[in-house]
């Protein structure tokens, strides 16, 4: 694409003592099951894992074909069921992406993680990229939470990312998300800072989801702390902040085992 990545390292950090951090991160966690060879049994298992002895995760994200099964497995539980659209490359034509969103709505999705056409944006086809978000928002209606994945590692600088973030929210995004987790880099402190600042500039209703490469309690604590530094005490509430990191669940449960 010809654009150098906007990325950077992350230093370890925490937001309070380990048990408190683990509890807060668990409440913000989105578990994901998007492997190529997963089956119905895997979908049930990830839903069951979301109902931990220390409380539920925020959501589970599965392929559209598993939405009815996930909804049935989690019936009555305080866990949102999410799916993906235009995933993972962000190449689909607007009508195809919208059809995927309409399917997700018909299957009862609570949330949809939509890949932004970042390559089109970088080519200068900004209107085309934003129109896809707008069309998908219309296909979903207002009930379903729309999280737009910007693939932040492909952006050359914070200002370019900030502008794309604003455009996505104005087109109907409820959440701004860093990465699909399928390419490097995933989440970085620099990218998360830009998205959190953009969300704060637009309004308290806009959420941010960090995803890609988050694997430890220290990672989670660093992002929770960052969300509160930028957006205040409510900045890490699950209604405004999520962590997409299935492999984070075991470290969180281990930290909570002695609570």
Known catalytic residues are 113, 177, 209
Cβ–Cβ under 8 Å, residues 58 and 31: no
- Burial of residue 232, with CB atoms counted within 10 A of its CB: 0-12 exposed, 13-18 middle, 19 or more buried: exposed
Nearest-angstrom CA–CA distance, 56 and 30? 10
Cβ–Cβ under 8 Å, residues 62 and 246: no
Other Cβ atoms within 10 Å of 95 Cβ, number:
11
Beta bridge partners of 84: 113
- Pick from 93, 111, 100: which is nearest to 30 by CA? 111
Tell me, rounded to whole angstroms, the distance of Cα 140 from its chain centroid: 17
Tell me: cis bond preceding 78? Omega within 30 of 0 counts: no
Cβ–Cβ under 8 Å, residues 174 and 149: no
Reduced to 3 states (helix: H, G, I; strand: E, B; else coil), residue 25 is helix
Beta bridge partners of 147: 113, 175
Nearest-angstrom CA–CA distance, 98 and 14? 39
């Amino acid at each position: 694409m010809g654009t150098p990545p906007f990325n950077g390292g992350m230093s370890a950090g925490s937001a309070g003592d380990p048990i408190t951090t683990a509890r807060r991160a668990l409440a913000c966690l989105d578990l994901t099951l998007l492997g190529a060879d997963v089956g119905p049994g895997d979908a049930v298992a990830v839903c069951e894992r979301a109902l931990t002895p220390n409380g539920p995760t925020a959501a589970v994200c599965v392929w559209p074909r598993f939405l009815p099964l996930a909804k049935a497995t989690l019936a009555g539980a305080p866990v949102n069921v999410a799916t993906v659209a235009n995933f993972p490359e962000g190449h689909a034509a607007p009508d195809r992406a919208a059809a995927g969103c309409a399917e997700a709505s018909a299957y009862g999705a609570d949330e949809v993680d939509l890949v932004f056409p970042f390559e089109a944006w970088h080519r200068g086809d900004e209107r085309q990229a934003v129109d896809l978000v707008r069309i998908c928002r219309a296909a979903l209606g207002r009930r379903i939470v729309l999280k737009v994945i910007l693939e932040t590692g492909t952006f050359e600088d914070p200002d370019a990312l900030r502008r794309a973030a604003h455009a996505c929210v104005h087109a109907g995004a409820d959440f701004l998300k860093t990465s699909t987790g399928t390419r490097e880099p995933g989440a970085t402190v620099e990218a998360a800072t830009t998205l959190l600042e953009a969300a704060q500039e637009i309004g308290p209703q806009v959420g941010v989801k960090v995803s890609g490469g988050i694997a430890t309690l220290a990672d989670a604590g660093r992002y929770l702390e960052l969300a509160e530094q930028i957006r205040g005490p409510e900045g890490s509430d699950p209604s405004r902040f999520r962590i997409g990191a299935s492999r984070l669940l075991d470290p969180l449960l281990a930290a909570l085992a002695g609570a």
